[in-house]
Amino acid sequence: MSDPTRPISSDPSLEPPGTEMTEGERRALEMVEAAETGGRKLFGGQKTLVTVIAVAWCLYQMYAAQVGNIDLLTLRAIHLAFAFSLGYLVFPFRKTPGNPQTRVPWYDWVLGLLATGTAIYLILQYPSIATVQGGVLTNVDVWIGSAMVVLLLLAAWRTIGIAMPIVASVFMLYALTGPRGLIRGDLGPQLQLHAGQTWPQVVGQLFANTEGIFGTAIGVSAQIVFLFVLFGAIFDKLGAGDWFMNVAQGALGGFRGGPAKASVLSSALNGIISGSAVSNVVTGGNITIGTMKRVGYSAEKAGAIEVASSSNGQLMPPVMGAAAFIMAQNLNIEYRTLILAAAIPAFLCYGALLVVVHLEALKLGLKGLPRNELPRVRQTLLKGWYYLIPLVYLIGTLTINPEATPERVALNTVFMMIVMMFIQEVYFGSRKGLSVGQGLLDGGRKLIEAFEGGARSMIGIAIATAAAGIIVGIVTITGLGFGLADIVQLASDGVRNLILSVAGLIPGLDATAVAGFGAILIVLMMAQLIALILGMGLPTTANYILMSALIVPIIAKIAGLDNSNPVQMLPVHMFVFYFGIMADSTPPVALAAFAAAAISGGNPVATGVQAFKYELRTALLAYMMFFNPQLLLIANNRLSGLGFGDAIFMILFAFIGLVAFSAATMRFLHRKTNPLQALLLLVASFMLIIPTHVLVNLVALGLIALVYLWQKAGSRREPPKSVPAAA
Q: How confident is the model at residue 4 (pLDDT cuts 50, 70, 90)?
A: very low
* Residue percentage of the chain with pLDDT more than 90: 34
> Does residue 97 or residue 154 have the better pLDDT?
154
With residue 528 as reference, give the H or E element that holds it.
Answer: helix 511-535
Q: Write out pLDDT tens, residues 176-197.
A: 886 554 444 444 444 445 667 8
Question: Given a cut of 90, is residue 213 above it in pLDDT?
Answer: yes
Question: Given a cut of 50, is residue 19 above it in pLDDT?
Answer: no
* C-alpha span between 683 and 665 (Å, rounded): 12
The pLDDT assigned to 723 comes to 45
* Number of other CB atoms surrounding residue 36 within 10 Å: 24
Q: Write out pLDDT tens, residues 6-15.
A: 333 333 333 3
Interval 445-464 mean pLDDT: 93
The pLDDT assigned to 17 comes to 34
Nearest-10 crossing angle of helices 258-271, 277-295: 170
Question: Given a cut of 60, is residue 3 above it in pLDDT?
Answer: no
> Does residue 268 or residue 280 have the better pLDDT?
268
State the number of CA atoms in the 13 A half-sphere of 250 facing the CB: 13
Secondary structure (H, E, C), 175-233: HHHCHHHHCCCCCCCCCCCCCCCCHHHHHHHHHCCCCCCCCHHHHHHHHHHHHHHHHHH
Residue 638: strand, helix, or coil: strand
The pLDDT assigned to 587 comes to 65
The pLDDT assigned to 191 comes to 46
The pLDDT assigned to 13 comes to 35
The pLDDT assigned to 234 comes to 93
* C-alpha span between 211 and 664 (Å, rounded): 46
The pLDDT assigned to 222 comes to 94
For 348, 480, 554, the CA distances from 483, given in Å and listed in that order, are 37, 5, 10
pTM above 0.75, yes or no: yes
In terms of Cα–Cα distance, which of 364, 340, 354, 341 is closest to 312?
Answer: 354
Q: Write out pLDDT tens, residues 86-121.
A: 999 999 887 665 566 788 999 999 999 999 999 999
* CA 290 to mean position of chain CA atoms: 25
User: In sequence order, what DSSP letters do the residues of 425-455 get, joined into one string?
Assistant: HHHHHHHTT--HHHHHHHHHHHHHHHHHHHH
Q: How confident is the model at residue 403 (pLDDT cuts 50, 70, 90)?
A: confident
Q: Write out pLDDT tens, residues 358-374.
A: 999 998 888 888 888 88
Q: Write out pLDDT tens, residues 227-257.
A: 999 998 999 899 888 888 889 888 888 888 8
